[in-house]
Amino acid sequence: MSDIAKHNMNSENAGMFGVSGTGDTSGYGGLQKRKIQIGSTERPFGGYFDDVVDGLERAYPGFNDAIEQVVVDRGELTLHVRRANLVEVAKFLRDDLKFEMCLGVSGAHYPDEIGRELRALYPLLSLTRNQRIRIEVAAPDNDPHIPSVVEIWAGNNWHERETYDMFGIIFDGHPALTRIFMPDDWSGHPQRKDYPLGGIPVEYKGATVPPPSDRRVYR
Amino acid sequence: MSQTYNSPRETTEGRIYSVTGGDWDDLVTEIGSTQEERVVVNMGPQHPSTHGVLRLILELEGETVTEARCGIGYLHTGIEKNTEYRSWTQGVTFVTRMDYLSPMFNEAAYCLAVEKLLGITDQIPERATLIRVMMMEFNRISSHLVCLGTGGLELGAITPMFFAFREREMILDIFEMASGLRMNTAYIRPGGLANDLPADAIPKIREAVKTIRKNLKDNEKMLVGNSIWMKRTANVAHLDLAGCIALGVTGPVLRATGMPWDLRKTQPYCGYENFEFDVVTADTADAYGRFMIRVYEMEQSLRIIEQVLDRLEPGPVMVGDKKIAWPSQLSLGGDGLGNSLDHIREIMGTSMEALIHHFKLVTEGFRVPAGQVYAAVESPRGELGAHIISDGGTRPYRVHFREPSFNNLQSTAAMCEGSLVADVIAAVASIDPVMGGVDR
């Protein structure tokens, strides 16, 4: 991994162009920007979100154990679900709260959040009630297992294969968890943050343009 | 016996013969009369009727498909990963290349998500939103035309292709007039549009709408109620509402089951609630119904475009916030779209602050507050969702696209198993997958 890529993973922004110390004279170099962690939201959540959360709490006895966090941000509700309870919660969401459709799963990799590096994010859609919510499930890098929801939402089959392929999250219980985009014998999972973008420097009339991942970055 | 074309090999599942050419009789002689015989056929990835580089792995019993599986990934270009190494504005140039038949929708979904992250959804100028809607609807027509044209071609009907591409050409001309590019337009940008329509655009577009409406009738006559076309598509590739919901299938395939689910109506964005149009449905749940939905949806799109043209008022096409708005002014010169010379003269000669601003925004880009959003639009193929995570920096932390083609292609097995090989073509054509979108 290049130094710049390592810089990218820092959770704090400082300076410009990857220069630390006095390399920068613009005045911007002294700026410190901490990344804001979006915390749990307090009730009332607003809109139909209260109905959804209350409904789940009523229907699902293990609510307090399974739901780690309820976040409302930019008009979207995210339920952070403990991975051991994912399938149960999914079943209640589908059957009792009418989230009949799962629009797939997307992954995210946060190498700095030790113990919660890998995330699986499921956007859910209720055709009956015209509602949307999102489930977020975390797994550590050294135990990248999350239960599969293919038996609840069959359409997640390919999406889970994609997320396995790109992030290395192993969806336990998936009927055939194989790579879907990359060749079967590929090693590594391309969309993890520790996987380099790659690319070769391009030379033009004597000057060399480095590949995108090695160019200077503004943080 | 030619050993170059087929060779037996022992596996855990028994002896397997791989055949890639040669004389079938030779193979039959060599196999002799084995007890069990399974024929697995690779259709694609280089097959003209698989809609791009799609590989279908079919297990056949005579002409009947007993199992169907898709092999995808041949067009995987790492667009999602690439966007993590460019500024938020540059991301548009990548995502427009995913589903190359509906670039405007890719751009719109991405930009709506970025604007939601920035919290500027309400500040997008009216004119920009209206032009976005118009471009999306033109794009819906051009995408449906390709579906009908190539779908017909794949099933042996050549004429719809000629008609479809005639009209599509006019729409691509409109894209070229507005953005300088026929495909991969990168016209919709976070905050608004790359540039305004040229001065003489509106009369030209009105003229085009008139011609397209007249010409669409040609294809309608070719396809609606045509008995040969119906023999190939009616009652073929059945997928009912329960199947669609279980498999997450949206778009014309879902509407062909009678479910009037169209995000433009149910969860309006870009002011779609202010337009009059009908959601087209069918109740046949088969390939014919899906094609008919596309035929009639084009008329609805023209209705929306006309309403846009009536409402267009002069005004800005980029958000007013100068910390976000793309600073360059583009104009169409003799050598294509480029920086407006007047604008360059102004920033280079008169205002140092404008020059600094321009430099900062173009090289560094704007910062987007940390968080994650999901923005969905109704693309010609179904729900196209952009799930975007920001860590507060000048580049996206993660961009994921929920591609309707990718999702809907899963239903191939459900539609095809038990049907004839010839119906597989009709099924795939009726899903209308675009492999650039599937593989990203």
Asked if A16 and A28 touch (Cβ cutoff 8 Å), the reply is: yes
Chain B: nearest CA to A60, how far in angstroms? 22
Q: How confident is the model at residue B14 (pLDDT cuts 50, 70, 90)?
A: confident
Q: What is the pLDDT of residue A219?
A: 59
User: Would strands A170-172 and A145-147 be described as parallel, antiparallel, or unpaired?
Assistant: parallel
Q: What is the pLDDT of residues A95-138, one digit of tens each?
A: 988 999 999 999 999 988 888 899 999 999 999 999 999 999 99
Nearest chain B Cα distance for residue A167, angstroms: 11
Task: Give the max Cα distance, chain A.
Answer: 69
Q: Which of A104, A213, A219 sits opposite B248 (nearest CB)?
A: A104
Single pTM value for the model: 0.88
Q: Given an 8 Å threshold on Cβ–Cβ distance, is B267 in contact with A130?
A: yes
CA distance B57 to chain A (A): 14
Task: Give dist(CA B6, CA A184) in Å, integer.
Answer: 24
Residue A28 DSSP symbol: G
Closest chain A residue by Cα to residue B435: A181
- Evaluate whether B245 touches A101 at the Cβ level (below 8 Å): yes
- pLDDT classification of B20: cutoffs 50, 70, 90: confident
Which of A173-182, B19-28, B232-241 has the least mean pLDDT? B19-28
The closest CB to that of A181, out of B73, B248, B389, belongs to: B73
Contact between B245 and A13 using a beta-carbon 8 Å cutoff: no
Decide if B80 and A191 are in contact by the 8 Å CB cutoff: yes
Residue-level pLDDT at B60: 86
Integer CA distances (angstroms), B12 to A177, B16, B35, in order: 20, 10, 16
> Percentage of residues in chain B with pLDDT exceeding 90?
47
Q: Are A161 and A104 in contact (CB under 8 A)?
A: no
- The nearest alpha carbon in chain A to B385 belongs to A103
Q: Residue B252, preceding bond cis, omega within 30 degrees?
A: no
CA atoms within 13 A on the CB side of B271: 20
Residue contact B391–A35, C-beta within 8 A: yes
- Chain B nearest-CA residue for A181: B73
Question: What's residue B339's pLDDT?
Answer: 78
Side chain identity at residue B292, one-letter code: M
Return the minimum-mean-pLDDT range out of A20-34, B100-114, B208-222. A20-34
Q: Residue A156: CB partners within 8 Å, gap ≥ 6?
A: A102, A104, A105, A122, A148, A149, A150, B248
Q: Give the closest-approach CA distance of B52 to chain A in angstroms.
A: 15
DSSP strands (E only) in B28-109: 39-43, 55-61, 64-71
Tokens of B194: 């790359």
Q: Which of residues 40-59 of A touch B (CB under 8 A)?
A: none
Mean pLDDT of chain A: 82
H helices of B188-340, in order, are: 201-223, 227-233, 241-246, 252-255, 263-266, 287-311
In this structure, of B2-6, B38-42, B211-215, B303-307, the range with the lowest mean pLDDT score is: B2-6
Q: Chain A closest CA to B126's CA: distance in Å? A: 22
B387 neighbors A125 (Cβ within 8 angstroms) = no
Which residues touch A66 (CB under 8 Å, ≥6 apart)? A60, A81, A82, A84, A85, A88, A89
Tell me what pLDDT residue A45 has.
Answer: 82
The encoded tokens of residue B20 equal 């890639």
Instruction: Please name which of A16, A44, A51 lies closest in space to residue A32, comparing C-alpha atoms.
Output: A16
pLDDT at B176 over 50: yes
Q: What's the mean per-residue pLDDT of chain B?
A: 87
C-alpha closest to that of B121 among B275, B265, B319, B273: B319
CA of B116 to nearest chain A CA: how many angstroms apart? 7
Comparing C-alpha atoms, which of B439, B415, B431 is closest to residue B380? B431
Confidence bin at A6 (pLDDT 50/70/90): very low
pLDDT at A35 over 60: no
Chain A residue numbers with beta carbons less than 8 Å from the beta carbon of B373 are 74, 76
> Would an 8 Å CB–CB cutoff place A219 in contact with chain B?
yes
Chain B residue with the nearest C-alpha to that of A183: B73
A162 interaction partners in chain B (CB closer than 8 Å): 406
Tell me which of B363, B387, B394 to substitute to probe the interface with A (most A C-beta atoms closer than 10 Å): B387
Cβ–Cβ gap A155/B410 under 8 Å: yes
Nearest CA in chain A to B80: A191
